[in-house]
A and B are shown apart, each in its own frame.
Chain A
Amino acid sequence: MDTNEFLIFNKGNELVQQNFIPKLDIKSEKIEEILPRNLIRDELRIPDVSEVEIVRHYVKLSKINYGVDSGIYPLGSCTMKYNPKINEVVARMTSFSQLHPLQDENEGTLEILYEISKMLGEITGMDGFTLQPAAGAHGELVGLLIIKKYFETKGIIKKKIIIPDSAHGTNPASAKMAGFSIIELQSNEHGEVPLDHLEYAMKQGDVAGIMLTNPNTLGVFDRQIKDITRIVHEHGGLCYYDGANLNPMLGICRPKDMGFDIVHLNLHKTFSTPHGGGGPGSGPVGVTNEFIPFLPIPCIVSTDKGIICNYENHESIGRIKAFWGNFGIVLRAFVYILSLGADGLKRVGQIAVLNANYLKTLLKKKYNLPFDRICQHEFVLSDKYLPNDINTEDIAKRILDYGFYAPTIYFPLVVNGALMVEPTETESKNSLDKFVEVMYQIYDEALNEPEKLKNAPSNTPIGRLDAVNAARKPILHD
């Protein structure tokens, strides 16, 4: 394949008919007479390209890109499940896509926002939700700001947050953005939070709470979860649930019952909205009753006058995004929940875990599995004991050669050379078996033909790229 498709900027400057602008049917004036010359732009370096050329250019680019619709996408902690097409159809209905955020006569949309808040409440056990956050990390920031505001309101100074070393990188970054410093807690030999260390850290006095994902990034459900949340609460702290790994818990168990006060969800993971190459997402935040007053404004509330938006909330952390959050994404998640219903959601949790354990059982025959337990949605292999100095990156790049996407690599940091695999519930057994077959074959190559891995990928549009040079002399635009 012609790899480096010419940039769009190298195409154009043809005579192109403008097809996207209505006819100017009012009397116009000379711009210079109504706008001072010094405010007017000179050059504009964007080419004119014909519609056919543009469509062909991007269709060609799409062909050298991999999506869930191309095949298994086993990225750990990313929950790359199938994105149902009906979600897209609904999001494009004029009655939703053409609705202005500042208009009234929007009852249909307010009802949807209210309904899905209730549904997410049922799924997580939480009592109130905000749908404002635009992504998971944005939700984390909101959750941490709620914690900050809660203690500020009480006049208590708490400056630290406990975060296990297995946490997603967004956790410490979000805590920092809310003004906290971080106490990192080392996982124990089971990949769980060591209770004695936790208690010691909490006793320091100015700890606002803990951020935890459960199951954690090793795919392990922390068996002592109730003790963890109890200890944190006993020392006056709050418990934040990072919902990035909620998928295997759907219909099985709920963060509030585990003892959490605040939770964020990733609708673009658990609730099937497309990742879009890295967004847009949506990261609703749910809280127990005590924290509802701190939720961002505006809130959707049900009154005897119907469902309305409430802007008055004196204890609120304030506004965290213009308008209403990523409604188009929330809408897709709503359609997903309607489609699946209670039983479907429970089956998601069950089959996500079944698929992960099936893959794990087969892959550990060839690859090192540092935490060998029943896993939940994902599991982590490592490159330990691989022959001929083959490392995780070599494996990942060779997987691409076989036409699959690679697992998450070198994360979580608690495992050296990690390969983090999350198949999700929507992969068939056949698809999983094919992936296993490829992984076995790659292991054999590592033994017998290691250069095939070292030189991988060789079957992709381009070979391994020079990251060092890219960062040293950044070229960020043409």
Chain B
Amino acid sequence: MDFISHDEKTIADMLKIINVPEVDDLFQDIPKDLIIKSLNISDGMSEPDVLDKMREYGIKNKIYPHSFLGAGCYFHYIPSLVDFVISRSEFYTSYTPYQAEASQGYLQAMYEYQSVISRLTEMEVANASMYDGSTSLAEAAIMASIISGKNQVILIEGVHPEYIDVVKTYCWGQNIELKITSEDKLNDVLSEDIAAVMFQSPNFFGDITDVLVMSNKVKDKYPNCLLIQCMTDPTCLGLLKPPGKTNVDIFVAEGQSFGISPSFGGPGLGIFTAKKKFLRKIPGRLVGKTKEINGEREGFMLTLQAREQHIRREKASSNICTNQALCSLSALIYLVSLGKTGLREIANQNFQKAHYVKKAIASIPGYKILNKKPTYNEFIVRCPNINGLIRECKKMNLLPPLQISTYFPEMSDVVLVCVTELNSSSSIEKFITAARLAINNETECAN
């Protein structure tokens, strides 16, 4: 199936108009020895055959009905209308809205997305989206370096390990020096030469930072040093003080939690926001409200494009072109579907349920909660028998929590537990039982 509608006669008619005898003649500019005979790829397949084949791949993936795994990718409920709206083909089969008059629907939706993100984060400007949380953080580091003219940035431990790796790669590309430090030692590395301090809150281990304290610590001494916060599950903003209220200069987040399926980690959504004074250094697209040239009606269009690569080429603030527009539409529909009441309740449930599990696990002898600060929907636990816990979870059809050793080999007996609104009391009780059973099986496992 090739989705082409020409029959042989049509092709012959078209060739006659072009005035060449054969289709092959259209490739006359290509040196003969570069033309290949055929591709070594199997024959095309019909829809039912493709679907059969894809189901075969699918059954080799195990999907669990309940999960205690998060770590940067989260299971939250997605209202049915989200997929319905983004499946309107006028949206999903359109290109970047360069022709504003034929793209008002999407442009307005993008403007609404920027608005709803501004409202949620209380940040003054939000762009129309980036690839994901990790690349947004890396772009924020570069932006800070451009703004300040300084090429050193500090990253505080506790940022998602994969994000740190991405930031490292981007910084190496731009010859920016990245200094990684703990929060306690921040003062030792802060200096006039630092463009920005980057941190995550709630962080990878679940800890919630008092951001205002942090920003005062940085800004009192170095008022021009930028504060960059990142976040991997921004549903917490229904409960926690937003970055716009804590003097954060650039706030970025992974927006997958807002109505986007896990889908093996992508596509997600890079949320990128900043203070207004940095507007002209922001990477990515921006949609603005304006008026007709010869009229009074308001409309929407891409704006401040002089920052972007298609106009500025190597002087652009970033190379980003294609972003995650359709995912930003999912986020918009998700956020307005929940509304303020729903967003507060989602955050409350994530917090309450995780807190409940945390307390229950802490009460089982042998388990130790390692977080020293308050947490939202994730926390870390030292386990007496980590392999037993993973095995018991799977037996009960629960997707087990992350073994922290994935990223930190020295923490071999620690898991990162994630509890969301989708964890019903029955799945929670199963998890607590699994944790208990893991201890009983300790000897068995040691063998």
Contacts and interface: CB of A to CB of B under 8 A. Distances in A.
Given A21-B342, A68-B93, A179-B173, A353 B50 contact: no
B158 interface: no
Nearest to A276: B326
A304 interface: no
Interface stretch (B190-198, B422-430, B433-441): B422-430
B230 to A, nearest CB: 11
B428 A175 contact: no
| Interface of chain A: mostly helix, strand, loop or mixed | loop
Interface in A99-157: 99-103, 105-109, 111-112, 119, 122-123, 134-138, 140-141, 144-145, 148
Interface in A6-43: 7-9, 12, 16, 18-22, 24-29, 31, 34-36, 38-41
A301 B349 CA distance: 41
B109 interface: yes
A69 B90 contact: yes
A197 interface: no
Given A64-B105, A95-B59, A471-B303, A58 B93 contact: no
B132 A319 contact: no
Nearest to A107: B60
A134 B105 contact: no
Contact of B326 (A63, A277, A341, A469): A277
A336 to B, nearest CB: 9
| Chain B CB within 10 Å, residue with most, of A170, A225, A278 | A278
Given A62-B90, A95-B63, A339-B45, A100 B104 contact: no
A67 interface: yes
Contacts of B79: 19-20, 51
Nearest to B259: A20
Contacts of A345: 39, 41
Given A21-B349, A251-B36, A66 B239 contact: no
Contact of B15 (A5, A320, A344, A354): A354
Contact of A318 (B172, B241, B288, B300): B172
B105 A137 contact: no
B322 interface: yes
Contact of B297 (A320, A408, A463): A463
Interface stretch (B70-78, B217-225, B378-386): B70-78
Given A65-B104, A277-B325, A101 B265 contact: yes
A466 B4 contact: no
A48 interface: yes
Interface string B25-49: 1111111001110111111110100
Interface stretch (A231-239, A325-333, A380-388, A442-450): A325-333
Interface in B124-141: 125-126, 128-129, 131-135
A366 interface: no
B149 interface: no
B62 interface: yes
A62 B88 contact: yes
Contact of A342 (B38, B67, B172, B312): B38
B179 interface: no
Contacts of A97: 261-263
A135 B353 CA distance: 37
B266 A324 contact: yes
A53 to B, nearest CB: 9
B237 to A, nearest CB: 7
The 10 A-B residue pairs whose C-beta atoms are closest, nearest first, are: A323-B265, A101-B265, A276-B326, A95-B58, A341-B44, A65-B105, A108-B60, A48-B339, A67-B93, A280-B267
8 contacts: A63-B105, A99-B63, A100-B399, A173-B318, A177-B142, A321-B166, A325-B265, A476-B126
